[in-house]
Amino acid sequence: MTDIDDLLAKARGRSEDYGRIYGRKETSDDYLKTTYAQLYQEAKGDTVADRDSWVRSQKGYQDAILRKKDAYADWKTAETYMKLLFAEAEVWRTKQANNRYMDNAHR
């Protein structure tokens, strides 16, 4: 296998995870809002501030925040990995173009 084949194999190998991670990131905001809304219905307190404070102190809401944080961290890691692969592929492409140019210059 050539260098580019290895890079493409890495990208293909991560593509399924990449999609799953992207989906989790995209739905994490809705999950957090839905969790907040469900807990708010059960909230104890007379004022909006009291109910908001109660919701934010619940384990379910804190878990949703952690889920969102993890989803964004996983996404950024995967996105950076793919960007690095694309950069490596671009370097390979440039080297190939330079080699072809040099081959033609020597003819």
Task: Read off the pLDDT of each residue in 5-14 and give the average, rounded to a whole number.
Answer: 76
Q: Is a pLDDT exceeding 90 seen at residue 87?
A: no
Who contacts 8 (Cβ-Cβ below 8 Å, separation ≥6)? 89
pLDDT at site 2: 66
- pLDDT (tens digit per residue) in 47-65: 999 999 999 999 999 999 9
**Rounded-to-integer distance, Cα 10 and Cα 105, Å:** 34
Taking the C-alpha atoms of residue 92 and residue 23, their distance in angstroms, rounded to an integer, is 30
Task: Indicate whether this model's pTM tops 0.85.
Answer: no
